[in-house]
Amino acid sequence: MAAERKYQRILLKLSGEALGGQGFGIDAQTVQRIAAEVKRVHALGVEIAMVIGGGNMWRGADAAATGIDRATADYVGMLATVMNSLVMQDAMEKHGMATRVQTAIEMPPVAEPFIRRRAVRHLEKGRVVILAAGSGNPFFTTDTAAALRAVELNAQVLLKATKVDGIYDDDPVKNCYARKFDEIGYMQALNMGLKVMDSTALSLCKDNNMPIIVFNLQQEGALEAIMRGEKCGTLVSKDVKEPV
């Protein structure tokens, strides 16, 4: 199996909306489909850590705009990520994968606290580790938490699952002439203001040379194709030559 995979350890970042199907909340069928996609990669012997957003239930920045204290709104969002993580854990265990949820905010009856060495040990034992509650700090997105955990756990790549098949220079839904990038450098993505990840997350990846692949999770087999080294989505890395 080892010869069939390009990466040994990955961090997969899912948005909360990815679990919601076409609407608000959690769509059980969508969650099961995602779990099945992860299982195909797990079967290759890949060590998988995951970070899931909470936007299908609550968005801290949007809530703050209505007058709720921003820190309070962000903490509520962290709890939303825990709910999503527990649902995903249940789905993956039903697919036969041993899974652990670790939270940045301690809640022992629900999940383990995040302890880096324990998380690494789970990965080494072939368990999927879902990292919930973001970084545990308000004003930081789950994208930033994903970048942080990817670096902490020595992942080889951060996989950002979206609803489009990569990074474009404009919104491909609104602009049919939007150009897709197969590869792009960190600084180019930052300077162009592309909505890959927020600038804090992107800068953290840049500073620690953590490659990012942005891909469409709704495309069946895309995740497995990336693990096998096939070109899929958009690669963000330092090795991409920046335009002069």
Residue 20 labelled as part of a binding site: no
Residue 139 labelled as part of a binding site: yes
Q: Output the CA–CA distances (angstroms, integers) from residue 221 to 67, 177, 215, 218, in the order listed.
A: 42, 26, 11, 9
Q: Which residue has the tokens 């069939």?
A: 4
Distance CA 221, CA 233 (A): 12
Q: Output the CA–CA distances (angstroms, integers) from residue 190 to 24, 38, 84, 204, in the order listed.
A: 30, 30, 29, 12
Residue 137 labelled as part of a binding site: yes
Residue 142 labelled as part of a binding site: yes
Residue 215 labelled as part of a binding site: no
Distance CA 201, CA 143 (A): 6
Residue 126 labelled as part of a binding site: no
Residue 5 labelled as part of a binding site: no
Distance CA 134, CA 130 (A): 11
Residue 74 labelled as part of a binding site: yes
Residue 229 labelled as part of a binding site: no
Residue 136 labelled as part of a binding site: yes
Residue 54 labelled as part of a binding site: yes
DSSP string, 185-222: -HHHHHHTT-SSS-HHHHHHHHHTT--EEEEETTSTTH
Phi-psi region of 95 (alpha: psi -120 to 50; beta: other; left: phi over 0): alpha
* Short-list 135, 134, 165, CA closest to 235: 165
Residue 81 labelled as part of a binding site: no
Q: What is the four-CA torsion angle of 221, 223, 229, 235, rounded to 10 degrees? A: 130
Residue 171 labelled as part of a binding site: yes
Q: Which residues sit in the known binding site for ATP?
A: 13-16, 55, 59, 162, 168, 171
Q: Which residues sit in the known binding site for UMP?
A: 54, 74, 135-142
Q: Which residues sit in the known binding site?
A: 13-16, 54-55, 59, 74, 135-142, 162, 168, 171
